[in-house]
Amino acid sequence: MCRFLVYKGREMFMSDLLTRSSRSLIQQSFKAREHAEPLNGDGFGVGWYAPEVDRIPCVFTSVQPAWSNRNLHRLAEKIRSSCFFAHVRAATPGLAVSEANCHPFQYDRFLWMHNGSINGFEKIKRRLRASLSDHVYGIIDGTTDSEHAFAVFLNRLLPRLKDYTLDDLIEAMNFTVLQIESWLQETGVDVPSRCNFALTDGQSVLATKYVAVRDSDPLTLYVSSGERFELAGGEYRMRPTKRRAHAVIIASEPLTDNRDDWTPAPKNNLVVVTPELQIRYLPVA
């Protein structure tokens, strides 16, 4: 499975999360600790917002392993953003390793990424595609289950794109997860599908921790929030705050060894980060 992280808060350098912390995403690309397969070397991607330029995020992807890509390290040292996504990929067997299949996926102001797999995807692919408008169908560039899930989300949201609310994003995400589960049930797939999706428009963030077979275990997902994520005493940690948070991180596994900084998201829940950095946990329903 893949590993990903989300940051939302005051501007910070991407390198603080991608390369510098003791369990950074780069470390997780070759030594993930909370999954049986520690290697995530089938490419990577980062996406970030520069609102002083425009609302459309910039995305950089490569099929190289994240640990060996010098440009990723160079960019991470120089790019500051208040909202960014990063993902290291372990390709689902049978799916191509190509830039078109690297996360995060982008459409308009939205970024999307996925840790997990839709088992039985080939059995539902035709009906999934048949449910899409011509416009959304044409957006799909790669072959992954992850990008097709993004298409389901966009298809649900696009009629409200000009004036959508946070509640509309939540409804579209819930619809996406449950519709995929419904298609799997209709085709008789009873193998667990794990759908840890992440979505942002640069203002709000949504992330799911979901497994379609209810008595199975989901993939890990953690949340950390506080005043800021900083280097203190030779190690990064989240500085706590008793007031409103100014930094929120969502990650497949902790980026540091200080477990007190990391809260596991509840199973089959949606993590919502509002533009004001308030965190809500909602059952996927």
Residues marked active site are found at 2
d(CA 236, CA 69): 23
Closest CA to 226 of 243, 201, 206, 211: 243
* N residues, the chain: 285
Q: How far is CA 214 from CA 92, 193, 195, 263, 269, in A?
A: 22, 10, 12, 21, 12
Query: How many separate helices (H) and strands (E) can be counted in the chain?
Result: 7, 15
φ, ψ dihedrals at 70, nearest 5°: -65, -35
Residue 58: strand, helix, or coil: strand
d(CA 208, CA 167): 15
Estimate to the nearest angstrom the gap between the alpha carbon of 274 and the chain centroid. Answer: 16
Residue 108 backbone zone (phi > 0: left; psi -120 to 50: alpha; other: beta):
left
φ, ψ dihedrals at 253, nearest 5°: -150, 160
Q: Token pair 């048949």 is at which residue?
A: 130
